[in-house]
Structure 1
Amino acid sequence: MIQLTSLKGDAFYLNEILIYRIDQIPDTMITLTDGNKLRVSETPDVVVEKIRDYQKSIGAIFRVIRGEQAP
């Protein structure tokens, strides 16, 4: 899950698998796979960076579980 910030300034966590698309209109609008929409303070680039960082961390956990060496 990634931590995001609502426009009111409240932090929350979102399961990144539920993201369908991210638009900037002018706020960042995240459309979920079920059609719900969320507006967040982060820019689309920051949201994508958070998703990549989270997915990298999950990959690292699986490598440790399998006993593989880190690249």
Structure 2
Amino acid sequence: MIKLTGMNGKDFLLNADHIEKVEEVPETLITLTNGRKYIVLQSTEELVDEVIKYKNKIFNIKI
């Protein structure tokens, strides 16, 4: 899950595994695999950084 800020200024968590597409229109528009869309205050670059951090947490398992 990644933490994002909606256009109303409230934070919410989004399952990054369900992101299908990200557009800058000029806001950042996220389309999920189920067709639902979210507009967030973060830039596309910030969103990509958050997804990378999230994936690193999952796959950086130490045994």
Moved over 3 A (4+): none
Which one has the bigger helix percentage? 1
Q: Find the aligned partners of 1:44 and 1:21 in 2 and give their Cα distance.
A: 11
Q: Identity over the aligned pairs, expressed in percent?
A: 33
Which one has the bigger strand percentage? 2
Count of residues in Structure 1 that have an aligned counterpart in Structure 2: 63
TM score, norm. by length of structure 1: 0.85
Shift of 1:35: 0.7
Instruction: Tell me the equivalent position of 2:3.
Output: 3
Q: Find the aligned partners of 1:21 and 1:34 in 2 and give their Cα distance.
A: 11
Structure index of larger Rg? 1
Shift of 1:6: 0.2
